[in-house]
Amino acid sequence: MNTGERSLVGGGPLDDLDQWEDDLRRRYPEPAAGAAPPGGNGNRSKQPEQFRDYRADARPQVKEFYRLHHRHQTVDFVRAKRTEYLSNLGQRRRMGVWQALEFLNTLVDDSDPDTSLAQIEHCLQTSEAIRRDGHPRWFVLTGLIHDLGKILCLFGEPQWAVVGDTYPVGCAWSEQIVFPEFLADNPDRNAPEYQTACGIYSPGCGLDNVLMSWGHDEYLYHVVRDYLPPEALYMIRYHSFYPAHRDGAYEHLMNDADREYFRWVRAFNPYDLYTKSAERPDLAKLRPYYEELVAEFFPPTLAW
Ligand SMILES: [Fe+2]
Ligand SMILES: [Fe+2]
C-alpha cells in the first residue's frame, strides 16, 4: 500500500515520536558490554546523579511533552479512550499487519526527508536483532509489531495520548515516574480515592485489573490479544511502563503472573532501545520472511 499521504507527526511539542525514544536512551543509557542486563532484577534504580544529569539536560520539547502527558492522563480520560477505541474495534479500520506498518510509515516528519521509513526501520531493526539472537518466532514477530499502536497518531490523537512512559491511573503516582512534579497539575490529584497507594484497586490485584495511562501499548495489546502467547502480550502491553520494568515501581499492584511475565518485558526492552543503527534494513529482502511470519500468527486482517 502506498497511499502517497504524508501526514503530520501528530499534534504536540515533539519534533517527531522518535524524540521521546531518543530521550529514553539518554535516560537509560546502554550498559557497557559485560555489565548486568538493564533492569535485570526489576529494582535497578538510577543513581541520584544520573537523575540530576538527565533532568538538567532534558530538551524543552521533551519536558513540555511530559507536562502535557502528566496533566491530561486522568482516570476519566483513560476510560473515555478505552470506550472510544476498544468498544468498537474493527469499525474504524480493518488492516493486515503489513498494511498497518505501511500506514504507520505515513507518519513522517516533513522537515526531514530521511525519516520517510523511520518507523518501519525501527520495527525491523528491533525484530532483526531479536532474530539474530536466536529467539522464538513469536518474539521476532513481537519486535516487528510492538509499535503499531502508534497509528493512533494517524487517527488524530495528540502525541501525549500515543507515546510517553505509561503508568497506572486511579492510584497514587510513583516518584519513579519521570518529571513527577508535572503530576501536580493532573485533576486526579484532587480525588482522594485516587491518591492512596492502591487507589481504586486492591493490593496484588494484577495489572490486568489496573487502568494504565492511554497510549500505543494498551491499544495494540487489544488489537492482537487473541493471536500471541502471553509473553508477547506482556511485552506489547507494558513496554513503555518504565517506572515498573526499569525502576521497580508498582510491585504492590502486581500478582505472581505479572512478576513472572515482566521478565519478558525486561528481556524485550534492550531490543527496543538499543538497536537503532545507521545501517538500514533491506526491506525488499526481508519482506518474504516477515510475510510468512505474520501469516503464521495473524489472520489476513486485524480489527483496529
Ligand atoms: Fe513503543
Ligand atoms: Fe519501539
User: Tens digits of per-residue pLDDT, 171-184?
Assistant: 999 999 999 999 99
Query: Which of the ligands is closest to the CA of residue 121?
Result: 2
CA of 174 to the centre of ligand 2 (A): 23
Whole-number Å distance between alpha carbons of 217 and 233 = 10
In a domain, 8, yes or no: no
CA of 147 to the centre of ligand 1 (A): 5
In a domain, 138, yes or no: yes
Query: Which of the ligands is closest to the CA of residue 163?
Result: 1
Tally of domains in the chain: 1
In a domain, 176, yes or no: yes
CA of 195 to the centre of ligand 1 (A): 28
Q: Is the pLDDT of residue 41 over 50?
A: no
Q: What does the CA dihedral 266, 272, 275, 276 come to, rounded to 10 degrees?
A: -150
pTM over 0.75: yes
In a domain, 276, yes or no: yes
Instruction: Share the mean pLDDT of the chain.
Output: 90
Structural contact between residues 137 and 296, judged by C-beta atoms closer than 8 angstroms: yes
In a domain, 230, yes or no: yes
DSSP-based three-state secondary structure for 95: strand
From 189, 191, 206, 301, select the one nearest 251 (Cα to Cα).
206
Q: What angle do CA 23, 29, 33 make, to 5 degrees?
A: 155
Q: Which range of residues forms the domain containing residue 213? A: 18-28+39-303
Sign of CA dihedral 196, 201, 205, 209: negative
In a domain, 171, yes or no: yes
Question: Burial of 7 by CB count in 10 Å (0-12 exposed, 13-18 middle, 19+ buried)?
Answer: middle
CA of 187 to the centre of ligand 1 (A): 26
CA of 20 to the centre of ligand 2 (A): 10
CA of 118 to the centre of ligand 1 (A): 13
Q: Is the pLDDT of residue 279 over 60?
A: yes
Percent of the chain with pLDDT over 90: 76
Whole-number Å distance between alpha carbons of 284 and 65 = 35
End-to-end CA distance of the chain: 17
| Mean pLDDT, rounded, for 209-233 | 98
CA of 299 to the centre of ligand 2 (A): 23
**Per-residue confidence (pLDDT) for residue 197, from 0 to 100:** 98
Beta strands in the chain, from DSSP E residues, in sequence order? 94-95, 302-303
Residue 51 corresponds to which cell in the numbers above?
A: 537523575
pLDDT in tens, 53-96: 788 888 999 999 999 999 999 999 999 999 999 999 999 999 99
**Per-residue confidence (pLDDT) for residue 106, from 0 to 100:** 84
Q: How many residues does the chain have?
A: 304
Structural contact between residues 270 and 133, judged by C-beta atoms closer than 8 angstroms: no
In a domain, 153, yes or no: yes
At 277, is the pLDDT very low, low, confident or very high (cuts 50, 70, 90)?
A: confident
CA of 144 to the centre of ligand 1 (A): 11
Whole-number Å distance between alpha carbons of 151 and 81 = 14
| Mean pLDDT, rounded, for 156-169 | 97
CA of 242 to the centre of ligand 1 (A): 11
In a domain, 11, yes or no: no
At 221, is the pLDDT very low, low, confident or very high (cuts 50, 70, 90)?
A: very high
Q: Which residues contact 62 (CB under 8 A, 6 or more apart)?
A: 14, 19, 20, 23
| Mean pLDDT, rounded, for 233-254 | 98
